[in-house]
Amino acid sequence: MTIAALATAPQRSAIGVIRISGNGAKDVIKHVFRPKYGKISVRRLTLGYLLSASGERLDEVLCAVFEAPNSYTGEDMAELYCHGSPGVLEGALRSIFAAGARQALPGEFTKRAFLNGKLDLSQAEAVIELIDSESEAEAVNAAKHLGGTFGQKIKSIRGELISLEAHFFALIDYPDEDIPEFSGSEAEKILDRAEKELDALCRTFQRGSLLREGIPCAIAGSVNAGKSSLLNALSGFERSIVTDIPGTTRDIVEQRIRIGGVLLNLRDTAGLRDSKDRVESIGIDRARKAIDESEIILLVFDGSREFESDDEALISKYSGNNKVICVINKQDIEVIIDKDRIKSLFDTVLELSAVTGEGLQELIDEIGRRIKPEKSDEALVTNPRYIECMTRALECIKRAKDSCIRGVGFDGVTLDVEEAARILGEITGEETSARIVENIFARFCVGK
Amino acid sequence: MRYNAGEFDVAVIGAGHAGIEAALVCARMGLKTLCATINLDAVGNLPCNPSIGGTAKGHLVRELDALGGEMGRAADHTCIQFRMLNRSKGPAVYSPRAQADRAAYRLYMKNALECCENLSLKQAEIVEILTREENGKKAVDGVVTHIGAIYKVKAAIVCTGTYLKSKIIIGDVQYESGPDGLFPANKLTDCLCKLGLPLVRFKTGTPARVNARSVDFSVMELQEGDKEQVRFSFDESIQTKNTAVCYLTHTNEETHKIIRENLHRSPLYSGQIKGVGVRYCPSIEDKVVRFADKERHPLFMEPMGLGTQEMYVQGLSSSMPEDVQMRIIRSVKGLENVEVMRPAYAIEYDCVDPTALYPTLETKLISGLYGAGQFNGTSGYEEAAVQGFMAGVNAACKILGRDSVIIDRSQAYIGTLIDDLVTKGTNEPYRMMTSRSEYRLILRQDNADIRMSEIGHSLGLISDERHERVLKKYETVEGERERLEKTNIPPSAKLSKLLEEKNSAPVTTGIKLADLVRRPELKYDELKIIDPDRPELSDEIREQVEISVKYEGYIRRQTAQAEQFKKTESRRIPEDIDYTKINVLRLEARQKLQKIRPANIGQASRISGVSPADIAALMIWIEQRRK
């Protein structure tokens, strides 16, 4: 089995390293990495692109491949040196899992290294401690997570699969009993439901990681509309807590704040205008990209002046965009702008003064309302190990459903159902075979 | 007065299904073997249902046959009806089952033991196992009969079935007895306790037997055997006979009413039965209470043999008082005037906690002492037989100085059964079930020969000729499989017509024969008309070809999983580890490992309460110690 994991800390940093080990390491690299020039050569760094599961470029990275036994673990290995953005790294891991690797358990690389004779005994002792402490932390973590909606959902999906298995086995193991026949369409329905539920859970992963990394929120507007003061006002506002040191990513100033328990990634962008200046143009392009990637766009107008051509350009580009919250700033000075026109073009228009703080509470409330999870009981999946398990289980369920439709015997279909239940059991830490047997006796009247 | 009565290599205690296989295999492997039983007329007795095989159990019988065991042949020779169950549910779960002539089966088995070289079959109750000290551990030294004969032996295999301190319960009547009026074995229990073995008390039960002349079959549903020849044994020279029929009837509302009104008279519900009962073998009162909304339960009338009118009423197990039983049974359609010959009863008996055994079925506590069958906490003739065989093989190997033989979960249901028992233990009589095997698509009853023949052959239990035949068979299968993969069939009117008839997608360009076989709606045999170059092949081989092509994807995946499994299974754990001293393990893991004493890392990882982190720590600890 090929394993993969982030080798550096899971936080924003210059470089994030992903490590892959196992027979299939080279195969995985073939799927997730495309060299920029030429081919990958062993034990040399190759520049290239990291690809998502659907083949899109995620990042420009360096890749190193090591062949067994000349590697840390003694197996075929690969390392990817990515930019240290948690979003990129998570995407990379997902892509790697999709290519056939699974999440490494705590200390698993070191364990493999040890078993392949790559570590000495004193190192090994350190590993034991590491495995112990990490798995305990993981267990605490998992227990917390599994107490909630997510755990219940997984248990309920798994329960359905186990019931399906139990029904099949009750029929098989007790052919003489009056047990209702097992219909293919019935099985298909159950599998279909399980697939949909699991799929929905998988999709929350995206949102889960957004919540963890911060929801991107761009502050856009023409030059001197008061974007930076709005950023500062929001950052310094008593109800919003500044959680991070501002990092300057090229021309975009980022600030993480927390509103109603949700992390928000505020990004102050360059003023948008047509510019002949090459350097400024580059900044503006980046600003546009940042705005497009955002979930919330605070479109700021300077209330103290008439519309200018740059404002008109913004209006035509962003009117009708439901991500936009329109802000008419500088209420502390005389308001000249045609407010009615703005209100006719945008659904949400707020008036405020970044300088005095007037109207800021309303803006915060509006943002809070937008970033609140759709449903309060929504289970969010944030752990890549869970997503990897769910993806594997989903594959099994799809295969089982497909076999059902094609009319394959239930002896084959149930193998995939059982495998799916077993994989989901890895999340909840429950054994499967015994549960199936219990389920048979609980539900069916069987015996001599 | 005790006296020295002689010397044997092995003593097998009991001549039920476990004892028979244990004794035969030891003797066949060249050991001087004593087989002692309380009553010689009860050798190979079928005290419960008169049938062999069934789901998962049929797999066990076929595996045992491929290894060189006797049960399959005995069942084939004495069978009076044969059926392949689950035919509509896919080849992985096809299950052969035979109704056996109970008297003929007993006679066949008794004769098999009598005719076996190196084997002495004696009527004697073993009351004590003698031990001596050997390397600081107790080791088997001899066995003592109830009349004082001492036989010096190197190993003893306990196959006591339901006889240890057995008690029969019918309503408020209880008495010490084995099944069918045979003596219980009361003294051996005390000896086993003294030796320190952890014993538990289990319970099972059996329905009433009735006289066929008093049954109205005209209102019941006829159940005939299969038309085509089915057998357990891979020895094709045996012809199975299909001479008897069974009948199906049902309980009804009246039956259930009688049961509900008399529940207070059931020892199960009044707390008189203390043994742990079997969920998969519930009494009729259990069924009625637990599944209150079921209007009826099926009952099968099974003949006990050709030379008797006695019939077994499958589905009517009970421990109610006899008068209530009479009212229950006579409320059933077709049984209104039935004459009950033997009432249903529950039976309690002592057995060992199987986690006290190694995977070789040797007790951890006493060298040379083995357990098999119901003594190990299982239920069923077939489960007993395979354990008897494996215990016998390992006892013989130990005496002969050979490596022990452990069949793992990826090789056979036998391996699954034994691994479950010794690794997880059981708190009720353990029954083999299809769902217990994670490799059931590669562990089919039809390919038990290729899975087990090598082992049987290497033990000298399968002849060169028979082994060659198995290898040849699978070479032919492989050859035909390759031909199907290579042969391309061009589109033709004949092909189109066939596909249309079978509601299968049309073919525009050419298609490989194998791809056609893979279509669930097409059968290998049906494709013969478009496959003119097909060689003449036997039924057995055609079946193998079809399964191996149709299920190729699943088989490949399961084979890969099995290989993965074997890796951890091959990492042996030294036998002398004191887990209590391994501080890197969590306390629970230390205790569990100390109790189970797993043979390898794979087995260790299946113990409940041992985490992956514990396993990693254990592996590293072992490695450290080695260096």
**Dist CA B464 CA B466 (whole Å):** 6
| Domain tally, chain B | 3
In the predicted structure, residue A245 carries a pLDDT above the cut 70: no
Instruction: Indicate the pLDDT class of residue B280, thresholds 50, 70 and 90.
Output: low
**Dist CA A260 CA B158 (whole Å):** 70
**Which of chain B's residues have a Cβ under 8 Å away from the Cβ of A425?**
none
Q: Judge whether B146 lies within some domain.
A: no
Residues B309 and B254 reside in one and the same domain? yes
**Which of chain A's residues have a Cβ under 8 Å away from the Cβ of B91?**
409, 411
In this prediction, residue A131 carries a pLDDT of: 52
In this prediction, residue A429 carries a pLDDT of: 66
**Which of chain B's residues have a Cβ under 8 Å away from the Cβ of A111?**
616, 619-620
Instruction: Indicate the pLDDT class of residue B279, thresholds 50, 70 and 90.
Output: low
In this prediction, residue A437 carries a pLDDT of: 67
Are B63 and B40 in contact, with CB atoms under 8 Å apart? no
Are B615 and B602 in contact, with CB atoms under 8 Å apart? no
Q: What is the CATH number for B606?
A: 1.10.150.570
Choose among A303, A306, A307: nearest CA to A315: A307
3-class state of residue B5 by DSSP: strand
Q: Judge whether B173 lies within some domain.
A: no
Q: Judge whether B315 lies within some domain.
A: yes
The whole-angstrom distance between A409's CA and the closest CA on chain B is 5
Cα angle B141, B147, B148; round to 5 = 35
Average pLDDT estimate for B202-230: 94
Taking residue A184's Cβ as centre, other Cβ atoms within 10 Å add up to 15
Q: Judge whether B294 lies within some domain.
A: yes
Residue that wins the pLDDT comparison between B431 and B611: B431
In this prediction, residue A446 carries a pLDDT of: 60
Structure-block tokens of residue B288: 């009625």
Strand partners, A16: A82
- In chain A, which among 387-406 make CB contacts under 8 A with chain B? 406
Task: Look up residue B527 and give its DSSP letter.
Answer: G
**Which of chain A's residues have a Cβ under 8 Å away from the Cβ of B626?**
none
- Kindly tell me the burial class for residue A48, based on how many C-beta atoms sit within 10 Å of its own C-beta (0-12, 13-18, 19 or more): buried
- In chain A, which among 98-117 make CB contacts under 8 A with chain B? 105-108, 111, 114-115
In this prediction, residue A133 carries a pLDDT of: 47
Residue that wins the pLDDT comparison between B328 and B532: B328
Sheet holding B79-85, edge to edge: B51-53, B95-100, B79-85
- In chain B, which among 485-524 make CB contacts under 8 A with chain A? 520-521
The whole-angstrom distance between A163's CA and the closest CA on chain B is 13
Residues B544 and B599 reside in one and the same domain? no
Q: Omega before B343 cis (within 30°)?
A: no
Q: Does B83 touch chain A (CB under 8 A)?
A: no
Q: Does A130 touch chain B (CB under 8 A)?
A: no
**Which of chain B's residues have a Cβ under 8 Å away from the Cβ of A173?**
55-56, 433-435
% of chain B surpassing 70 pLDDT: 98
Q: Average pLDDT, whole number, for chain A?
A: 78
In this prediction, residue B586 carries a pLDDT of: 79
What ipTM was predicted for this assembly?
0.81
Choose among A315, A284, A282: nearest CA to A300: A315
Q: Domain ends where: B289, B318, B346? A: B346
Residues B294 and B334 reside in one and the same domain? yes
In the predicted structure, residue B276 carries a pLDDT above the cut 70: no
H or E segment to which residue A88 belongs: helix A86-98
pLDDT for B498-544, tens place per residue?
A: 999 998 988 888 899 999 999 988 999 999 999 989 999 998 899 99
Residue that wins the pLDDT comparison between A425 and B324: B324
Residues B513 and B604 reside in one and the same domain? no
In the predicted structure, residue A377 carries a pLDDT above the cut 70: no
Specify the range with the lowest mean pLDDT, choosing from B109-113, B184-188, B231-235.
B231-235
Specify the range with the lowest mean pLDDT, choosing from A8-17, A408-417, B477-486.
A8-17
In the predicted structure, residue A73 carries a pLDDT above the cut 80: yes
Choose among B552, B408, B577: nearest CA to B481: B552
**What's the longest Cα–Cα distance across chain A?**
92
**Dist CA A101 CA B526 (whole Å):** 42
Residues B622 and B490 reside in one and the same domain? no
**Dist CA B294 CA B619 (whole Å):** 52
Residues B516 and B614 reside in one and the same domain? no
Q: Average pLDDT, whole number, for chain B?
A: 93
In the predicted structure, residue A236 carries a pLDDT above the cut 50: yes
**Which of chain A's residues have a Cβ under 8 Å away from the Cβ of B85?**
175
**Which of chain A's residues have a Cβ under 8 Å away from the Cβ of B81?**
none
Strand partners, A129: none
Residue in chain A closest to B315 (alpha carbons) equals A448
Residues B490 and B598 reside in one and the same domain? no
Cross-chain Cβ contact B620/A418 below 8 Å: no
Q: Judge whether B189 lies within some domain.
A: no
Structure-block tokens of residue B101: 């002539």
**Which of chain B's residues have a Cβ under 8 Å away from the Cβ of A107?**
613, 616
Q: Does A412 touch chain B (CB under 8 A)?
A: yes
Q: Domain ends where: B554, B581, B597? A: B554
Residues B342 and B209 reside in one and the same domain? yes
- In chain B, which among 586-625 make CB contacts under 8 A with chain A? 608, 611-613, 616-617, 619-621, 623-624
In the predicted structure, residue B374 carries a pLDDT above the cut 80: yes
In the predicted structure, residue B54 carries a pLDDT above the cut 80: yes
pLDDT for B155-179, tens place per residue?
A: 999 999 999 999 999 998 999 999 9
Structure-block tokens of residue B150: 């001492």
3-class state of residue A64 by DSSP: strand
The whole-angstrom distance between A137's CA and the closest CA on chain B is 12
**Which of chain B's residues have a Cβ under 8 Å away from the Cβ of A163?**
none
Average pLDDT estimate for A44-50: 92
The whole-angstrom distance between A131's CA and the closest CA on chain B is 6
Are B207 and B314 in contact, with CB atoms under 8 Å apart? yes
Residues B334 and B209 reside in one and the same domain? yes
Q: What is the CATH number for B251?
A: 2.40.30.260
Instruction: Indicate the pLDDT class of residue A252, thresholds 50, 70 and 90.
Output: low
Residue in chain A closest to B625 (alpha carbons) equals A121
The whole-angstrom distance between A445's CA and the closest CA on chain B is 6
In this prediction, residue A22 carries a pLDDT of: 93
Average pLDDT estimate for A340-364: 86
Cross-chain Cβ contact B623/A114 below 8 Å: yes
Q: What is the CATH number for B525?
A: 1.10.10.1800
Per residue, the 3-state secondary structure of B231-290, as one string, reads CCCCCCCCCCCCCCCEEEEECCHHHHHHHHHCHHHCHHHHCCCCCECCCCCCCHHHHHHH
A54 phi/psi in degrees, rounded to 5? -90, 5
- Kindly tell me the burial class for residue B447, based on how many C-beta atoms sit within 10 Å of its own C-beta (0-12, 13-18, 19 or more): buried
In the predicted structure, residue B416 carries a pLDDT above the cut 80: yes
**Dist CA A23 CA A116 (whole Å):** 13
The domains located in chain A, with CATH, are: 3-104 (3.30.1360.120), 148-448 (3.40.50.300)
Specify the range with the lowest mean pLDDT, choosing from A430-444, B100-114, B609-623.
A430-444
In this prediction, residue A267 carries a pLDDT of: 82
B171: left (phi over 0), alpha (psi -120 to 50) or beta: left
**Which of chain A's residues have a Cβ under 8 Å away from the Cβ of B294?**
178, 445
Residue that wins the pLDDT comparison between B373 and A425: B373
In this prediction, residue A177 carries a pLDDT of: 80
Cross-chain Cβ contact B616/A128 below 8 Å: yes
Q: Judge whether B323 lies within some domain.
A: yes
Q: Judge whether B99 lies within some domain.
A: no
Residues B210 and B340 reside in one and the same domain? yes
In this prediction, residue A316 carries a pLDDT of: 84
- Among candidates A107, A115, A447 on the partner chain, residue whose Cβ is nearest the Cβ of B280: A447
3-class state of residue B349 by DSSP: strand
H or E segment to which residue B561 belongs: helix B552-569
pLDDT for A78-124, tens place per residue?
A: 999 998 877 788 888 888 988 989 888 766 787 777 777 676 555 65
- In chain A, which among 162-201 make CB contacts under 8 A with chain B? 165-166, 169, 171-178
Find the domain containing B222 and state its range. 205-346
Question: Number of Cβ pairs closer than 8 Å across A and B?
Answer: 135
Average pLDDT estimate for B432-451: 92
**Dist CA B589 CA B604 (whole Å):** 10
Radius of gyration of chain A (CA): 27
**Dist CA B123 CA B159 (whole Å):** 15
Average pLDDT estimate for B324-351: 96
% of chain A surpassing 70 pLDDT: 75
Residue with tokens 């050859």: B479
Instruction: Characterize the bridge pairing of strands B155-158 and B369-371.
Output: parallel
% of chain B surpassing 90 pLDDT: 75
Per residue, the 3-state secondary structure of B63-130, as one string, reads HHHHHCCCHHHHHHHHEEEEEEECHHHCHHHCEEEEEECHHHHHHHHHHHHHHCCCEEEEECCEEEEE
Residues B613 and B543 reside in one and the same domain? no
H or E segment to which residue B204 belongs: strand B199-211
Instruction: Indicate the pLDDT class of residue B281, thresholds 50, 70 and 90.
Output: low
**Dist CA A258 CA A57 (whole Å):** 30
In the predicted structure, residue A137 carries a pLDDT above the cut 70: no
**Dist CA A221 CA A257 (whole Å):** 20
Q: Judge whether B506 lies within some domain.
A: yes
pLDDT for B282-299, tens place per residue?
A: 789 888 888 888 899 999
Instruction: Indicate the pLDDT class of residue A1, thresholds 50, 70 and 90.
Output: confident
Q: At what angle do helices A410-428 and A149-173 cross, to 10 degrees?
A: 150
* CA A191 to each of CA A199, B76, B218, B433: distance values in angstroms, whole numbers, following the listed order: 12, 42, 44, 24
CA dihedral B511→B515→B516→B521, nearest 10 degrees, is -140
- Cβ-Cβ contacts under 8 Å for B460 (sequence gap 6 or more): B28, B29
Are B344 and B116 in contact, with CB atoms under 8 Å apart? no
Residues B617 and B529 reside in one and the same domain? no
